[in-house]
Amino acid sequence: MASSNVVHAAFPKPLTEDASRSYTLPARYYTDPEIFELEKERIFFRTWQYVGHKSQVAKPGDYMTATIVDQGVFVIRGRDGALRAFYNVCQHRAHELLQGSGNVKAVITCPYHAWAYAPDGSLRSARNCEHVQGFDKSDFGLKPVRVEEFCNLVFVNLDEDAMPLAEQAPNLEASIRDFVLNYDDLVFTGTSTFGDDVMQAGWKVVVDNYVECYHCGPAHPAFADMIDMACYKHTIDGISAFQLGPDTKPENSAYDFKADDPIQRAAFWYLWPTTTINIVPGSVSVNITHIVPRSPTTTSFVNDRLVVAGEAEDEARNAYLFDLLGHEDQLLCESVQRGLMSNAYDQGRFIVGPEVDGQEEHVVHLFHHMVKQALDGA
Ligand code: FES
Ligand SMILES: [Fe+2]
């Protein structure tokens, strides 16, 4: 731990609880591989990470894989209906077991030497193991990972002692359901990325950008034409935050929607540390946009779309979100990441007022403070 404390030392200027007096995280926190290593241990391996929608693992044997920075995991529905998660590594000589998503009929068979595991993680067979002295199959079961369904979404946590997500974010599900009345009818329909598959910006730059709309007027003219920025609102609630655009315009320069479409408002939820959920006007469609850190300075911002089963997607809206808006944000984030390498920048300030106003940076401050607390080991 001594080395961690050196890596994460006192800041030149204070990052305080009072946003109006606080400075931002120092630039080194966005560039230093040692900070990223500390974030793995103290943030990513201790928090709930989104994997997919429960409809993707509805039937016995259905599975989906995910990577938590450098830790492969998979989630699988057992024959008994229970959802389980495991590290995605064979206990023989460490080949990965499953790729992507799909369904295993009876056992999970390792592609390397065909050790076979039951969906409950127990080792069923290890070819030719009869003469291996002291070999006990029960010593080589898969290593389990915590898994939970929350708001019909599947999350995993590498910390076996983690507090359940529903306790950590007690109001989030009700907030989402208030906006999407037929939420239980939604199914997974496809994956896209905001911007390129991998953007040249670290995960914290991407979160910083998502949780404020101070930039929306200057940097997203079509978005600001559709959503009245003067009424934009922010709410902070524990480890989650919420942005609401209550006033929108059906004819605008982003994409058109109808005045009687079921979704008329724009709503953006953020769940510490890497999950975002959003809806924008038009037909019912929920975007689960999760931040996948690839390295200290690269990220994938991956979007799973949920729509009502059998309903067509709005291609014009998707084109606006993933091509135009996503690339606008990508360019912003990549420019910031380059700027954070500048010898002429270290810590900035948060633009905040006495209230949590929609065009301010209260949530960026919340996020920086949570990162600091997590790295402090708090
Ligand atoms: S590494 Fe999996 S069976 Fe050998
Ligand atoms: Fe943006």
Domain range list for the chain: 49-157, 169-376
For ligand 1, atom 1: residue with the closest CA: 93
Q: What distance in angstroms lies between residue 89's CA and the mean position of ligand 2's atoms?
A: 37
Contact between 254 and 278 under an 8 Å Cβ cutoff? The reply is no
Per-residue pLDDT of the chain (378 residues; tens, 9 = 90+): 446 777 888 899 999 999 999 999 999 999 999 999 999 999 999 999 999 999 999 999 999 999 999 999 999 999 999 999 999 999 999 999 999 999 999 999 999 999 999 999 999 999 999 999 999 999 999 999 999 999 999 999 999 999 999 999 999 999 999 999 999 999 999 999 999 999 999 999 999 999 999 999 999 999 999 999 999 999 999 999 999 999 999 999 999 999 999 999 999 999 999 999 999 999 999 999 999 999 999 999 999 999 999 999 999 999 999 999 999 999 999 999 999 999 999 999 999 998 877 889 999 999 999 999 999 987
CB atoms within 10 A of CB 21: 12
CA dist 87 → 48, 71, 152, 250, 276 (Å): 15, 7, 22, 46, 24
- From the CA of 374, how far away is ligand 2's center (Å)? 26
Q: Cα separations (Å) of 156 from 52, 147, 149, 186, 261?
A: 10, 4, 9, 21, 34
Q: What's the token pair of residue 49?
A: 């990470």
pLDDT of residue 3: 60
Q: Whole-angstrom Cα distance, residue 296 to residue 201?
A: 8
- Residue that has been written with the tokens 């065009």 in this structure: 359
Q: Which residues surround ligand 2, an ion (CB under 5 A)?
A: 329
Question: For ligand 1, is residue 115 a contact (CB within 6 Å)?
Answer: yes
Cα 150 to Cα 356: distance, rounded to the nearest angstrom: 27
Could you tell me if the CB of 111 is within 6 A of ligand 1? no
How many A from CA of 223 to the centre of ligand 2? 9
Ligand 1, from 91, 92, 97, 108: best to mutate by most atoms within 8 Å of Cβ? 92
123 lines ligand 1 (CB under 6 A): no
Contacts 24+ apart (CB under 8 A), 322-327: 322/192, 322/193, 322/194, 324/222, 324/254, 325/194, 325/220, 325/222, 325/223, 325/254, 326/193, 326/194, 326/195, 326/301, 327/195
Contact (CB, 8 A) for 256 and 226:
no
Ligand 1 nearest atom to the CA of residue 95, by list position: 1
79: Cβ below 6 Å to ligand 1? no
Q: What is the CATH number of domain 49-157?
A: 2.102.10.10
Residues 282 and 144: their CA atoms lie apart, in Å, by 41
As given in the structure block, the two tokens for residue 16 are 């305080």
Tell me if 110 CB under 6 Å of ligand 1: yes
Q: How far is the CA of 139 from the centre of ligand 1 (A)?
A: 15
Rounded to whole angstroms, the Cα distance separating 32 from 41 reads: 15
pLDDT at 252: 97
Q: Taking Cα atoms as reference points, which of 127, 102, 103, 107 lies closest to residue 119?
A: 107
Atom of ligand 1 at shortest range from CA of 90? 2
How many angstroms separate the alpha carbon of residue 293 from the centre of ligand 1? 28
Q: Are strands 153-157 and 144-150 parallel, antiparallel or unpaired?
A: antiparallel
Task: Output the pLDDT for position 1.
Answer: 45
Q: How large is the C-alpha radius of gyration of the chain?
A: 22
Residue nearest to atom 3 of ligand 1 (CA): 113
Three state DSSP letters for the chain: CHHHHHHCCCCCCCCCCCCCCCECCCHHHHCCHHHHHHHHHHHHCCCCEEEEEHHHHCCCCEEEEEEECCEEEEEEECCCCCEEEEECCCCCCCCCCCCCEEECCCCEECCCCCCEECCCCCEEECCCCCCCCCCCHHHHCCCEEEEEEECCEEEEECCCCCCCHHHHCCCHHHHHHHHCCCHHHEEEEEEEECCCCCECCCHHHHHHHHCCCCCHHHHCHHHHHHECHHHCEEEEECCEEEEEECCECCCCCCCCCCCCCCECCEEEEEECCCEEEEECCECCEEEEEEEEEEECCEEEEEEEEEEECCCCCCHHHHHHHHHHHHHHHHHHHHHHHHHCCCCCCCCCECCCCCCCECCCCHHHHHHHHHHHHHHHCC
* Among the bound ligands, the one closest to the CA of 113: 1
Q: Which ligand is nearest to the CA of 128?
A: 1
What number does the ligand 1 atom closest to the CA of 94 have?
Answer: 1
Query: Is-same-fold flag (49-157; 169-376)?
Result: no
Nearest ligand to the C-alpha atom of residue 325: 2
Is the CB of 92 within 6 Å of ligand 1?
yes
Taking the CA of 95 as reference, the closest ligand is 1
CATH code that applies to domain 169-376: 3.90.380.10
CA 377 to chain centre: 21
**Which ligand lies nearest the alpha carbon of 111?**
1
Ligand nearest to the CA of 125: 1
Query: Which residue puts its alpha carbon closest to atom 4 of ligand 1?
Result: 113
Say if ligand 1 is within 6 A of residue 96 CB.
no
Entry pTM: 0.96
Angle, helix 203-210 to helix 362-376, in steps of 10 degrees: 150
Q: For a ligand 1 pocket test, name from 97, 108, 112 the mutation site with the most ligand atoms within 8 angstroms of its C-beta.
A: 112
Task: Name beta bridge partners: 207.
Answer: none
